[in-house]
Structure 1
Amino acid sequence: MSDARQYFSLPSPFAMKRGGMLHGAHVAYETWGTLNTARDNAMLIFTGLSPSAHAASNQDDPAPGWWEGMLGPGKAIDTTRWFVICMNSLGSDKGSTCPASIDAATGEPYRLSFPDLSLEDVANAAHALVTRLQIEKLACLIGCSMGGMSALAYMLLHPGSVRAHISVDTAPQAQPFAIAIRSLQREAIRLDPHWNNGDYDIHVEHGGRYPDIGMSIARKLGVITYRSAMEWNGRFARIRLDPEEREDQPFGFEFQVESYLESHAQRFVRTFDPNSYLYLSRASDWFDISEYGQGSVLEGLKHIRIERALVIGVSTDILFPLEQQEQIAEGLEAAGAQVEFVALDSPQGHDAFLVDIENYSRAIGGFLTRL
């Protein structure tokens, strides 16, 4: 049995880590499979920054999900065995309360009055959802990219609530390179005159001002870092556009890779709220597990108590480098978990977990069969 998007009302008020609170907030989620009588076959997936809760197709929403090849009957995450929950992050505009949502106190969108968002808030919202579903302990918690940080926060803040963990291409804290890239992305949005200090036209279908250029540049920066130089060289080399495909303006697009980035950005620009993007991006930079270990990442990880873990990284990931996955594996092992570490050589870089389904399926599916 599968359900399309559902909504869970968070406890009200919902206190935020960095101050402030939300009233009447909710998060969107989807589920696949069936929760067994013992309620011990539940799995929760935290997404990256931009995906929705629609990780895979289901009977009510047959559209392919962002992890379609990984999740479903007979797949690596086998929904004939597991009851799978995927939650849209608090602060994301894919169904959860976010800066574009209406603040009941004013009747207007929150915009920049939305409280400072942390990934700990995302984790606490997820724990409230799991508790509401009467699941005392998750059989497995999966976190991908930014979601891997949310998963670490979940296990730290709610000890004893998770049996096993799968960490996918994530980090225990943002490194300077990742912070620099996200800072540039945020700057591109903020410097777009149509961003207007967060007061743009949220309902873009009605026309009005909207930071298209800033969002486009932000997305292009992201896509560049999500893939590897090997991938770019293999796909595009220095191939130029045909003369009729080039822009008829000074310094216009000349190479295929430029056209690819532009089309990728245009598909994204008006599908994600700019203020939500800013809040989630900053939350990723703020997360630092060393806060829980007197300034030490390894000491922070030692506070996590789980039985088993699978940590996957890819050698071509420049955004969340392989050494950060090694850090996570080392810390969880020091905390007493039985840890499997998998380093893949996928050429796709950080996005490999969305593209190299064969190798990720082998690692994740193999791990889950041993639970």
Structure 2
Amino acid sequence: MSDARRWFALSSPFPMKRGGELVGAHLAYETWGTLSAERDNAIFILTGLSPSAHAASNADDPSPGWWEDMIGPGKYIDTNQWFVICANTLGSCKGSTGPADTNPATGQPYRLDFPELTLEDVANASHELVRSLGIERLGCLLGNSMGGMSALAYLVQHPGSVRAHISISTAPQAQPFAIAIRSLQREAIRLDPNWNNGHYDDAHYPEAGMSIARKLGVITYRSAMEWVGRFARIRLDSEQREEDPFAVEFQIESYLAGHARRFVRSFDPNCYLYLSRASDWFDLAEHGTGGVEAALKRIDVERALVIGVETDILFPLSQQQQIADGLRANGATVDFVALDSPQGHDAFLVDIPRFGAAIAGFLATL
């Protein structure tokens, strides 16, 4: 199978918000559709913590993407009309430069020598990529989850560079509950002896720590309502249980274990730590004076769609309302959509018909 990814070389050195710089860094990205002659039909997608740039299938890579049912010809984000770009986040391990990559100064992996990463750095790297494609002003900037925070950083740091914005299940600043969960996830990784201050390898890998971190995440990505509806208190059949007296007994435990098994070796632990911490550090209020509301009011877009989910405990609906109100205060025409999807924070990946209908309806007005 061919690789649909493209690579964009960032400015070198690439300065980081909290100090330090990257030399020879790059972003992996993919595109769908055709850029118009006026270069005004581009949608840029900023992702959550773990996805790659492969948001949907294409001719070069027909494998399903993480938003397969959302993007494509005739789909909710219609690539017959829009030129869609999705980049793997700076600091990740899915093709873009991150802690798992080689430090050109030493010839060894960066590990914890990677500069402190912020979502402002993610946004600036993405802006460089967009400009390199000859796009002066995006038709729409879309961000979900952590990517929504990166999108807000993009908007506040690069005023006038985006015509419309779609904000999905995100936050203008990290709140205590989300910080607490992510802190526990990072602690689980760091307390695994195999993490070894970032110096692990395939034979000595912090699998237990990554497994716990992933399970904690999955618990918060969905809602208690969904767990009850899907699993209740159903126990595994006796032949499915191990002999250990404290082994997995309930179906929900087995489900979490399966999720963890699929994740732990597919995402680099140090990259996970860096991106998780960057999410906790993000605070739009740092961009000027007057708090979050004042910072949101400085964002200059013509139109915006803000979507939240009532059952989202990680990025609660009140934060989506705050974003909508803040953008509206600067004169933007804002559509606010509150969905009752039972899937919680992960609903934008699962409840495609309702999210898609809202997104397609909004894009049709641009």
Give the 3-state SS of the residue equivalent to 2:338 in structure 1.
Answer: strand
Partner of 1:237: 232
For residue 194 of structure 1, what is the aligned residue in structure 2?
194
Structure 1: distance between partners of 2:174 and 2:284: 10
Name which of structure 1's ranges 296-305 and 341-350 shifts more when overlaid on structure 2: 296-305
Q: Give the Å deviation of 1:250.
A: 2.4
Distance 1:6 1:336 in 2: 37
1:297 and 2:269 are equivalent in the alignment:
no
Alignment partners' CA distance in 1, 2:288 and 2:18: 19
| CA–CA distance in structure 1, aligned partners of residues 74 and 317 of structure 2 | 29
1:340 corresponds to which letter in structure 2? D
The equivalent residue for 2:158 is: 158
Correspondence for 1:214: 209
Superposed counterparts of 1:232-271, under 5 Å: 232-271=227-266
Map residues 138-149 of structure 1 onto 2, 5 A cutoff.
138-149=138-149
The residue that corresponds to 1:37 in the other structure is: 37
Q: Which residue of 2 aligns with 1:59?
A: 59
**Structure 1 pair 38–283 and aligned structure 2 pair: CA distance change class (3 A):** same
Q: Partner letter of residue 54 of structure 2?
A: H
Tell me, what secondary structure is at the counterpart of 2:334? strand
Farther-moved stretch of structure 1 (284-293 vs 355-364): 284-293
Mapped partners of 1:295, 1:254: distance in 2: 51
Q: In the alignment, which residue of structure 2 is the partner of 1:110?
A: 110
Letter of the structure 1 residue corresponding to residue 279 of structure 2: S
**Aligned-partner residue type, residue 161 of structure 2:** S
Q: Distance in 1 between matches of 2:74 and 2:43?
A: 16
> Distance in 2 between the 1:226 and 1:345 partners?
15
Q: Match of 2:172, as an amino acid?
A: P
Confirm or deny that 1:321 pairs with 2:316.
yes
CA distance in 2, matches of 1:364, 1:3: 28
TM-score normalised by L of structure 1: 0.97
Mapping 1:18-33, distance limit 5 Å: 18-33=18-33
Say whether residues 1:176 and 2:176 are aligned partners. yes
- Aligned-residue CA RMSD in angstroms? 1.0
SS in 2 for 1:271: coil
Q: Distance in 2 between matches of 1:20 and 1:82?
A: 37
The one-letter code matched in structure 2 to 1:313 is: G
State the distance in 2 between where 1:295 and 1:198 align: 38
TM-score (norm 2): 0.99
The equivalent of 1:361 in structure 2 is 356
Per the TM alignment, residue 35 of structure 1 is displaced from its structure 2 partner at its CA by 0.4
SS in 1 for 2:143: strand
Q: CA deviation at 1:303?
A: 1.0
One-letter amino acid of the structure 2 residue matched with residue 75 of structure 1: K
Tell me the residue number matched to 1:124.
Answer: 124
5+ residue gaps in structure 2? none
- Kept after mapping to 2: 8 A contact 1:3/1:31: no
Q: Determine the structure 2 residue equivalent to 1:285.
A: 280
Matched residues, number: 365
Corresponding residue for residue 10 of structure 2:
10
The 1-side partners of 2:345 and 2:245 are apart by 33
1:191 & 1:153 partners in 2: Cα distance?
Answer: 32
**Unmatched runs of 5 consecutive residues or more in structure 1:** none
Q: CA deviation at 1:290?
A: 1.1
* Equivalent pair of 1:3/1:58 in contact (CA under 8 Å): no
**Would the alpha carbon gap of residues 217 and 60 (structure 1) be closer, same or farther in structure 2, given more than 3 Å must change?**
same
What is the one-letter code of the residue matched to 1:153?
Answer: A
Residue identity over aligned pairs, in percent, reads 74
Q: Residues 284-319 of structure 1: CA distance to partner in whole angstroms, max 9, x if unpaired?
A: 000001112425111110110000000000000000
Q: Is the 8 A contact 1:169 1:320 kept in 2?
A: yes
Change (3 A) 1:43 1:3: farther
